């Protein structure tokens, strides 16, 4: 089969062994995948796939089921599906545990469905499960214009949570506000911490979702209210930070580290079941939608990675065969 492989630090279309389906697995003819920051880190040699996962990039896909393994009843050959992957999305075919596969929501194209699994699973998991977000609690989303950010804004809008964002530029901020954010700050114009009191009436945020890490850590803790939760999902801004333990203790703060890719198959299946129950009806009604910056041919995957690395995108960059 054809697949995008990393060759001398660059992405190139090449031949790769076709995966075989096993017990409890589903084989999908991939129509589209989407780029995630983790793909860029893996391509640079910094994020190896979990044991047993495909070494090919790609953490989500949409396409048609072409074969199912023994015991699979969730889907059947011919079904249009999307899937959460541990790897392998940048290929013509991929094999994935059945619990990580869902039928495409009614009304969505395959290219739209390919932009759903990773970012909506990340946002859903970390806001409502890890962050224990309750109705009317305030949320701060860093990288609000990213795929996870645009998914989270919409989820918070529908669950009635006032949401504030940090983004890179006024144009991105305007689009986040149109999507449902209550306010935000342009990170190019300085820090966000001095605006927290104004945004929250002096109380602080209940939940902060942060892919940045060390460079935002102190301001994040200062921006949380009593019993606040900081959910750390990335380290784009560094890996080492001083922890003001007195603040953590006095405000009863929780700092939660969370990754999705390395979770167990049953854990990922439970997340996908949650998406089907809570998100799929909203996707089918049009209340929530995947936000796509552009669609790039799979053969031009390096161009897509360069585009995401530029930080000029809003939402997802989709790769399509």
Q: Which residues contact 11 (CB under 8 A, 6 or more apart)?
A: 4, 5, 43, 57, 90, 301, 302, 305
Structure tokens at 302: 């390096």
Report strand pairing: 183-186 vs 163-167.
Answer: parallel
The residues that bridge with 307 in the sheet, in sequence order, are none
**What is the per-residue pLDDT for 208?**
98
Report H helices in the chain.
37-43, 110-113, 117-124, 147-158, 170-179, 196-200, 214-223, 245-250, 265-278, 280-285, 301-309
Distance of CA 197 to the CA centre of its chain: 28
What integer pLDDT is reported at residue 190 of this predicted model?
Answer: 81
> Are 277 and 270 contacting, i.e. CB atoms less than 8 angstroms apart?
no
What is the value of pTM for the model shown?
0.96
Both tokens of 237, joined, read 């801004």
What is the C-alpha separation between 258 and 219, in angstroms, rounded? 19
Q: How far is CA 31 from the centre of its chain?
A: 19
Query: Helix (H, G, I), strand (E, B), or coil: what is residue 319?
Result: strand
Full set of structural domains in the chain with CATH: 2-116+290-320 (3.90.180.10), 120-257 (3.40.50.720)
Tens-level pLDDT at each residue, the chain (321 residues): 999 999 998 999 999 999 999 999 999 999 999 999 999 999 999 889 999 999 999 999 999 999 999 999 999 999 999 999 999 999 999 999 999 999 999 999 999 999 999 999 999 999 999 999 999 999 999 999 999 999 999 999 999 999 999 999 999 999 999 999 999 999 988 889 889 989 999 999 999 999 999 999 999 999 999 999 999 999 988 889 998 999 999 999 999 999 999 999 999 999 999 999 999 999 999 999 999 999 999 999 999 999 999 999 999 999 999
> Which of 99, 123, 97, 102 is closest to 113 using CA atoms?
102
**Bridge partners, residue 63, by sequence:** 30, 81
Rounded distance between C-alpha atoms, residue 196 and residue 206, angstroms = 12
Residue 189: per-residue pLDDT: 87
248 touches 224 (CB < 8 A): no
Q: What is the pLDDT of residue 188?
A: 87
For residues 217 and 192, the answer to whether their CB atoms sit within 8 Å is: no
Whether the Cβ atoms of residue 15 and residue 1 lie closer than 8 Å to each other: yes
Residue 286 main-chain phi, psi, to 5 deg: 90, 0
Query: Cα 230 to chain center, whole Å?
Result: 17
């Amino acid at each position: 089969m054809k697949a995008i492989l990393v060759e001398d630090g660059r992405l190139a279309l090449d031949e790769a062994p076709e995966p075989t389906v096993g017990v409890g697995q589903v084989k999908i003819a991939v129509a589209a995948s989407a780029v995630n920051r983790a793909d860029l880190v893996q391509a640079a040699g910094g994020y190896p796939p979990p044991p047993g996962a495909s070494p090919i990039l790609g953490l989500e896909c949409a396409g048609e089921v072409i074969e199912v393994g023994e015991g699979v009843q969730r889907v059947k050959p011919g079904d249009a599906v999307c899937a959460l992957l541990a790897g392998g999305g940048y290929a013509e075919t991929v094999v994935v545990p059945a619990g990580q596969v869902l039928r495409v929501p009614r009304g969505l194209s395959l290219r739209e469905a390919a932009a759903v699994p990773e970012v909506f699973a990340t946002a859903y998991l970390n806001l409502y499960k890890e962050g224990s977000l309750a109705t009317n609690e305030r949320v701060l989303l860093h990288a609000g214009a990213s795929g996870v950010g645009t998914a989270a804004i919409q989820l918070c809008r529908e669950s009635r949570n006032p949401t504030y964002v940090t983004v890179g530029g006024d144009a991105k901020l305007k689009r986040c506000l149109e999507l449902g954010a209550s306010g935000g700050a342009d990170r190019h114009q300085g820090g966000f911490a001095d605006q927290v009191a104004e945004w929250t009436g002096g109380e602080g945020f209940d939940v902060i979702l942060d892919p940045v890490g060390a460079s935002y850590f102190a301001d994040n803790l200062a921006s949380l209210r009593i019993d606040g939760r900081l959910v750390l999902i990335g380290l784009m801004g560094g890996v080492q930070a001083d922890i003001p333990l007195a603040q953590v203790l006095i405000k009863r703060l929780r700092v939660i580290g969370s990754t999705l890719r390395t979770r167990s198959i049953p854990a990922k299946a439970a997340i996908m079941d949650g998406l089907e129950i809570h998100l799929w009806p909203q996707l089918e009604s049009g209340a929530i939608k995947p936000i796509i910056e552009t669609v790039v041919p799979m053969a031009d995957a390096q161009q897509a990675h360069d585009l995401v690395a530029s930080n000029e995108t809003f939402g997802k960059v989709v790769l399509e065969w």
